[in-house]
Amino acid sequence: MKQDGRRAIPIALLAALATFWLSPAFHNDAAAQAPADSAPPTADPPSMSQGVEPSYTNPVFLPVDLPPPDDFRTAAGAPGASYWQQRVDYEIRVSLDPEAHRITGKQKVTYTNNSPDSLTSIWFQLDQNLFKPDSQGAQRAAEMQEKAGDMRFQGMFEGGGYEIERVAVIRDEVPLEVPYEIDDTMMEVRLDRPVLPVGGELEIEVDFSFTVPESGADRMGRLKVKKGTVYELAQWYPRVFVYDDVSGWNASPYLGQGEFYLEYGDFDVEITVPRDFIVAATGELQNPGEVLTTEQQQRLELARRSSTTVPIVEKDHVGREEYRPIGTGPLTWRFQARNVRDFAWAASKAFIWDAGGWDGVLAMSFYPEDGLGGGAGRGPQPPGWEQSTEIILHALEHYSTTLYRYPYPVAINVAGTALGMEYPMIVFCSVEARGLGLFLVTDHEIAHTWFPMIVGSDERRYAWMDEGFNTFINHYSLTDYGGEDAWPADPVLPLNSARLTRSEDLAEPIMSRPDSLTEDQLGFLGYTKPGMVLYLLREYVLGAEAFDAGFREYVERWAYKHPQPADFFRTMEDVTGQDLDWYWKSWLYGSGYLDQAVTGVERDGQRTIVTIANRGEVVMPMEVRFVFRDGSDECRRLPVDIWRYSDTWQAEFEGKSVRTVHVDPRGMLPDVNRSNNVFGRGVVTRVEECGES
């Protein structure tokens, strides 16, 4: 793989999920063991039946301290009667100079203030300034590289960053230049008069240019391939920060690792490139007759109705004049996108292009011949990018069926330098992805359509609300695509995650802000662990029917809106009727581990007493199977409340001798020390779910 000054990352990691379960910590059995000097279980409290209040309450059962509900966000987790959010519409005219790798653009922003507040400034994100050598992100990258060897979110270079040529406010159709101040990746535009509340509008023009970085923090950039250069343009135009009811202006520096929080609006974008270039972008192409041949237009119409892949620009067509519109000079591609939170695009003269259709949606893949499978390597080569459109079609159908129908007219996958990155209607994946790796990264990035493109969560603060949700839903998509054994190392499976929960390097809560974490921490806490947490909530705590009802309701309530963690928690509890504070505190707010252990089996005459302890900070319902010496057995499922007043639980059997005790016989829980889950000879082989006890 091309290094670009970054740490080389194997193709198996392309889903941006896998760096975590293949890390050394994953294979370190010693890290999986609970410490030998674990604290002894807390003594049992006096029995409630004796009329004495317990002297001990496990703090995990205390209520989560959520923001109080109000007119904007209800106690049930839904948008309130007075919920509002801002709207930002963009008109952008941009050109690419491939000789200089230079982007030059002009944009008009229409800002609608739906808040109850008057706004005296408008804040813009200048994400390209990350690539200035002296940016805050560059300093962070240097610190992270020294601390943990992190190299992924870099790409700074001399000459990097924006040149802002002009900022003007439109007053009575006349542009008036206004003062602005740039601080790293943030720009404050100071207004001559405020934008009035509840419907006030403002138009701002910004002229900008920048040099495309070669490696843009693994989110965008340019890659030299056999027949040209692939340009992936993201975070490329000055974007307005979110102003919301929780934090006001969400202005904060872009440091590379934390992702994005954006307003919804419409985009009208014109992209001018050399005539031999092909452009892929967010939105629908408005002028195919000007930028495509008649045959290419016909093939696209055929592809929209085809469930199999249709070639639009074939390998042998690349670089040949007869497969581009007749004429000289550059071409301008026009795109429109409605109700999206961002706009990204890619361009190259090296693109092969194919497409297919699902329920009126046009799925398309753009890739250089470097991305094709097969080839002259040693041994058989797995399929390559010629399989991409098939994977997109699977993802569209699966997630539309299980979550919420795909709402956009196109879905695009582009092969280039980024390992895996998502934007509305278009994703960037590594040109080197093959076989299962290509499925993983494509499926993961397309799934981001639902989180955070439809459900517009705050990725800057809560990576788990998009990456973790995606890791979770990817598990079911992969199973649907390839069967139960398609991905044995699936990180959401608890047995694969438990080994990491004891690593001191990962001892941070899921709720940690992503920019405060190392890359490995982000991988585990943003992807793997929250994916596992949702999997357990569905498969072990609530059951599929209840969980799915709550999860789908969350998507319905917050589609094209800005949910906070409290909105998710409250929605799940509202729909399922369950108090889950103990679950959120155990897994999201805490950094503890789970260790349910058989600590004693004692005979007292004809009576056998079995003692089981909860040795970790995390609590979960418990399944336990008992096998008796007479050959009979019994399985019990105990509610999580058994740990509310005590860290131990006991079972008594009169007239029966216990041969084997097995806690969590199905292996469903991420228990860090499974060696103490079994008492007696061997293990229980019957692993059906225990009934409630």
382-408 confidence digits (pLDDT tens): 899 999 999 999 999 999 999 999 999
What integer is the mean pLDDT of 100-122? 98
Model pLDDT for residues 50-109, shown as the tens digit of each residue: 444 555 689 999 999 999 999 999 999 999 999 999 999 999 999 999 999 999 999 999
Q: Which residues pair with 109 in a beta bridge?
A: 90, 204
> pLDDT above 90 covers what percent of the chain?
77
In the sheet with 215-216, reading across from the earlier edge strand, the strands are 215-216, 220-225, 228-233, 345-348, 278-281
Can you give the pLDDT at residue 43?
Answer: 36
The residue ranges of DSSP E strands in 470-555, in sequence order, are: none
Least confident of 54-63, 107-116, 215-224, 374-383: 374-383
Least confident of 305-309, 374-378, 543-547: 374-378
Q: Name residue, tokens 């509340």.
A: 197
Closest alpha carbon to 213 in 190, 196, 229:
229
pLDDT confidence band for 154 (50 / 70 / 90) = confident
Mind giving me the DSSP string for 83-122?
Answer: ----EEEEEEEEEEETTTTEEEEEEEEEEEE-SSS-EEEE
Can you give the pLDDT at residue 531?
Answer: 93
pLDDT confidence band for 8 (50 / 70 / 90) = very low
Q: Which residues contact 66 (CB under 8 A, 6 or more apart)?
A: 566, 569, 570
Mind giving me the DSSP string for 151-183?
Answer: -TT----TT-S-EEEEEEEEETTEEEE--EEEE
Cα gap 267→503, rounded to integer Å: 45
- Neighbour count for residue 529 (Cβ, 10 Å): 27
Can you give the pLDDT at residue 275?
Answer: 97
Cα gap 427→362, rounded to integer Å: 14
Q: Is 432 exposed, middle or buried (0-12, 13-18, 19+ CB in 10 A)?
A: buried
Q: Name residue, tokens 């590594």.
A: 430
Cα gap 326→292, rounded to integer Å: 10
- Neighbour count for residue 317 (Cβ, 10 Å): 18
Which residue type occupies 360? G
Mean pLDDT of all residues in the chain?
A: 89
The answer on pLDDT for 563 being more than 80 is: yes
Can you give the pLDDT at residue 378?
Answer: 43
pLDDT, greater one: 124 or 40 = 124
Whether 133 contacts 247, CB under 8 Å:
no
Q: Which residues contact 639 (CB under 8 A, 6 or more apart)?
A: 621, 692
Model pLDDT for residues 168-208, shown as the tens digit of each residue: 999 999 999 999 999 999 999 999 999 999 999 999 999 99
Can you give the pLDDT at residue 637?
Answer: 96
Closest alpha carbon to 616 in 54, 47, 55, 42:
42
Model pLDDT for residues 46-62, shown as the tens digit of each residue: 333 344 455 568 999 99
Cα gap 619→643, rounded to integer Å: 7
Please state whether 640 falls in left (phi above 0), alpha (psi between -120 and 50) or beta: alpha
Cα gap 638→453, rounded to integer Å: 39
Which residue type occupies 342? D
Cα gap 690→687, rounded to integer Å: 8
3-class SS letters over 317-372: HCCCHHHCCCCCCCEEEEEEEEEECCCCEEEECCCEEEEEEECCEEEEEEECHHHC
Can you give the pLDDT at residue 487?
Answer: 61
Can you give the pLDDT at residue 189?
Answer: 98
> pLDDT above 70 covers what percent of the chain?
86
Q: Is 320 exposed, middle or buried (0-12, 13-18, 19+ CB in 10 A)?
A: exposed
Model pLDDT for residues 355-376, shown as the tens digit of each residue: 999 999 999 999 999 999 964 4
Model pLDDT for residues 474-511, shown as the tens digit of each residue: 999 999 998 766 665 676 776 666 665 666 667 789 99
Closest alpha carbon to 473 in 408, 405, 530, 419:
530
Cα gap 609→632, rounded to integer Å: 17
Model pLDDT for residues 507-525, shown as the tens digit of each residue: 789 999 998 888 888 888 9
What integer is the mean pLDDT of 159-171? 97
Which residue type occupies 576? T
Can you give the pLDDT at residue 152?
Answer: 78
265's tokens: 């609006």
What integer is the mean pLDDT of 426-450? 96
Can you give the pLDDT at residue 28?
Answer: 33
Can you give the pLDDT at residue 1?
Answer: 33
Asked if the peptide bond before residue 452 counts as cis, ω within 30 degrees of 0, the response is yes
pLDDT confidence band for 209 (50 / 70 / 90) = very high
The answer on pLDDT for 147 being more than 80 is: no
What integer is the mean pLDDT of 460-465? 96
Whether 218 contacts 418, CB under 8 Å:
yes
In Å, what is the CA distance from 151 to each residue of 155, 348, 477, 523? 9, 26, 30, 14
Can you give the pLDDT at residue 31?
Answer: 32
First-residue to last-residue Cα distance in the chain: 54
Can you give the pLDDT at residue 485?
Answer: 67
The answer on pLDDT for 685 being more than 90 is: no
Cα gap 407→401, rounded to integer Å: 12
Predicted structure pTM score: 0.90
CATH (residue range 594-680): 2.60.40.10
Largest CA-CA distance found in the chain, in angstroms, rounded: 99
179: Cα separation from own chain's centroid: 37
Can you give the pLDDT at residue 3?
Answer: 33
The answer on pLDDT for 16 being more than 70 is: no
127's tokens: 């994400």
The answer on pLDDT for 35 being more than 50 is: no
Residue extents of the structural domains in the chain? 594-680
SS3 of the chain: helix, strand, coil, percent, to 5:
30, 30, 40
Q: What is the CA radius of gyration of the chain?
A: 28
Closest alpha carbon to 18 in 500, 510, 424, 477:
500
Whether 352 contacts 370, CB under 8 Å:
no
Altogether, the residues listed in the chain come to a count of: 693
Mind giving me the DSSP string for 259-298?
Answer: -----BEEEEEEEEE-TT-EEEESSEES-HHHHS-HHHHH
Model pLDDT for residues 566-619, shown as the tens digit of each residue: 999 999 999 999 999 999 999 999 998 899 999 999 998 889 999 999 999 999
